[in-house]
Amino acid sequence: MRGRHADAYSMYKRGTRDYINAYDKEQVRSLNGVSKEIGNPSWKRSFLYILVASLASLLYGYHLGVINETLQSISNDLHFNGNTMAEGLVVSICLGGGFLGSTFSGLIVDRVGFRRAFQLCALPMIIGSSMSATAKNLWGMLLGRLFVGTGMGLGPTLAALYVTEVSPAYVRGTYGSFTQIATSLGLMSSLLIGFPAKETEGWWRICFWVSAVPAALLALFMQFSPESPHWLFKKGRAADAEAAFEKLLGGPYVKGAMAELLKSERGGEAETVKLSELLFGHHRKVVFIGSTLFALQQLSGINAVFFFSSTVFKSAGVSSQSANICVGIANFLGSFAALLLMDKLGRKVLLIGSFSGSCNGSSGSFS
């Protein structure tokens, strides 16, 4: 194992050095000047690929909410109605699978790249959805939810990183909000599709079958999507990185994009940060703010709302359908506001605003 890692790393270093030698400082400066003269690349070139990657976030949101309206029907059909331990397991085992998926997401991307990682994310979701839809007992449902959770743990991280690395810089914040909007749409879709579950026998099975469709589309369309140029470059495949940039940005922008990539690689090598410096050095404030933000989102109880809002509203004498529609709309509006403001106001303002309320807090649960 160590030998293979060493070979891969040395190959990357050789490829990087060779490519850097092809451009001296004067050439890089001129390339940047050319990119400024011709303006920004068209957002349309990368737009479809952003939508494909966002399917992973849509599935994440859908599986967060699919159990909300259907849990009562599932417990009746699988004969564990009134068993709060079993109901809690059906919900929480998905989070356990998410922990496993997110733990290995970085290793998977580094080894096989984003395209294959997305397909590996879709596979357990297809299998898990099918197993849940055809479950005959509690154990079948638990195993299906565990598979689904593994894919959920991979999806949000992959989508966020991929969108960042394939987006033109001037719309990167806007495109980054697409993953949040997709999560909100997935959540809202699961609530709407689940409404007939309490009146229609076996409808909950259809709810799980539905989720297999976008997962299959994600696996299929990723086959035709470009790989991340950053990942290709790190693997010493500079020519493939140029081809990916041409597909994403257009021919006139390839050299400028490669020049920026070279500068970022040089900066990354010069500013290696140790874990101790993140915790105790001058980066500690940034780390503390980011970690506190995610902690407050989870402590706000947003996951409990997504999982059990139907039960909570029913016990309060409120129609679960009306209340869940309001939850979904509020969640979507928060994400849409981020879409409009991200590239205008900047990330710092949005981070401060997010402390006042978590519209989509669970999107960071497995990141």
Beta carbons of 205 and 82 less than 8 angstroms apart? no
User: Is the pLDDT score of 35 beyond 60?
Assistant: no
| Residue 3 domain flag | no
| Residue 30 domain flag | no
Q: How would residue 197 be classed by pLDDT, with cut points 50, 70 and 90?
A: confident
Could you tell me which of 359, 83, 68, 298 has the C-alpha nearest to residue 198?
68
User: Is the pLDDT score of 62 beyond 70?
Assistant: yes
Q: How would residue 317 be classed by pLDDT, with cut points 50, 70 and 90?
A: low
| Residue 15 domain flag | no
| Residue 327 domain flag | yes
User: Is the pLDDT score of 116 beyond 80?
Assistant: yes
**Range of 33-42, 48-57, 100-109 with top mean pLDDT:** 48-57
**Domain count within the chain:** 1
What are the helix (H) ranges across 113-194? 114-133, 138-166, 172-193
More confident call, 41 vs 15: 41
| Residue 185 domain flag | yes
User: Is the pLDDT score of 351 beyond 60?
Assistant: no
Beta carbons of 264 and 19 less than 8 angstroms apart? no
Sequence-distant (6+) residues with CB within 8 A of 150 are 97, 98, 100, 101, 124, 128
pLDDT of amino acid 172: 86
Q: How would residue 211 be classed by pLDDT, with cut points 50, 70 and 90?
A: very high
- Token output for 148: 């689904």
User: Is the pLDDT score of 154 beyond 80?
Assistant: yes
pLDDT of amino acid 350: 44
Average pLDDT, rounded, for the chain: 78
Q: Taking the CB of residue 33, how many other CB atoms lie within 10 A of it? A: 10
Could you tell me which of 259, 266, 300, 295 has the C-alpha nearest to residue 28?
259
pLDDT of amino acid 37: 57
Where does residue 271 rank: exposed (0-12), middle (13-18), buried (19+ CB within 10 A)? Answer: exposed
The predicted model gives 180-203 an average pLDDT of 88
Q: How far is CA 47 from the centre of its chain?
A: 16
pLDDT of amino acid 47: 94
Q: What whole-number distance in Å separates Cα of residue 327 and Cα of residue 321?
A: 10
> Which segment of 110-119, 242-251, 301-310 scores lowest on mean pLDDT?
301-310
- Token output for 258: 């490669």
pLDDT of amino acid 7: 47
The predicted model gives 72-100 an average pLDDT of 90
Residue numbers of the domain that contains 56: 41-225+274-359
| Residue 5 domain flag | no
- Token output for 233: 């470059």
What are the helix (H) ranges across 195-346? 203-221, 229-234, 238-249, 254-270, 275-280, 284-299, 302-315, 320-345
CATH number of the domain to which 191 belongs: 1.20.1250.20
Largest separation between any pair of C-alpha atoms in the chain: 73
Q: What whole-number distance in Å separates Cα of residue 50 and Cα of residue 35?
A: 23
Could you tell me which of 233, 239, 227 has the C-alpha nearest to residue 266?
233
**Range of 41-45, 52-56, 95-99, 176-180 with top mean pLDDT:** 52-56
Sequence-distant (6+) residues with CB within 8 A of 117 are 105, 108, 109, 154, 158
The predicted model gives 156-170 an average pLDDT of 90
> Which segment of 75-84, 172-181, 248-257, 348-357 scores lowest on mean pLDDT?
348-357
Share above pLDDT 70 across residues of the chain, in percent, rounded to a whole number: 68
pLDDT of amino acid 269: 52
Q: Taking the CB of residue 141, how many other CB atoms lie within 10 A of it? A: 26
| Residue 96 domain flag | yes
Q: Match 């205008």 to its residue by tokens.
A: 344
Q: Match 């040089």 to its residue by tokens.
A: 266
How far CA 238 is from CA of 131, 212, 261, 262, in Å, comes to 42, 36, 10, 10
pLDDT of amino acid 133: 95
The predicted model gives 114-125 an average pLDDT of 95
Beta carbons of 69 and 192 less than 8 angstroms apart? no
Q: What is the DSSP string of 61-98?
A: HHHHHHHHHHHHHHHHHTT-TT-HHHHHHHHHHHHHHH
pLDDT of amino acid 279: 73
User: Is the pLDDT score of 142 beyond 90?
Assistant: yes
How far CA 330 is from CA of 57, 319, 326, in Å, comes to 18, 17, 6
User: Is the pLDDT score of 91 beyond 90?
Assistant: no
How far CA 70 is from CA of 38, 83, 241, 284, 351, in Å, comes to 54, 15, 45, 43, 34
Beta carbons of 158 and 106 less than 8 angstroms apart? no
Share above pLDDT 90 across residues of the chain, in percent, rounded to a whole number: 37
pLDDT of amino acid 337: 66
User: Is the pLDDT score of 30 beyond 60?
Assistant: no
Q: What whole-number distance in Å separates Cα of residue 232 and Cα of residue 59?
A: 27
User: Is the pLDDT score of 130 beyond 90?
Assistant: yes
| Residue 58 domain flag | yes
Q: What are 45-61's pLDDT values in tens digits?
A: 999 999 999 999 999 99
- pTM equals 0.74
More confident call, 268 vs 350: 268
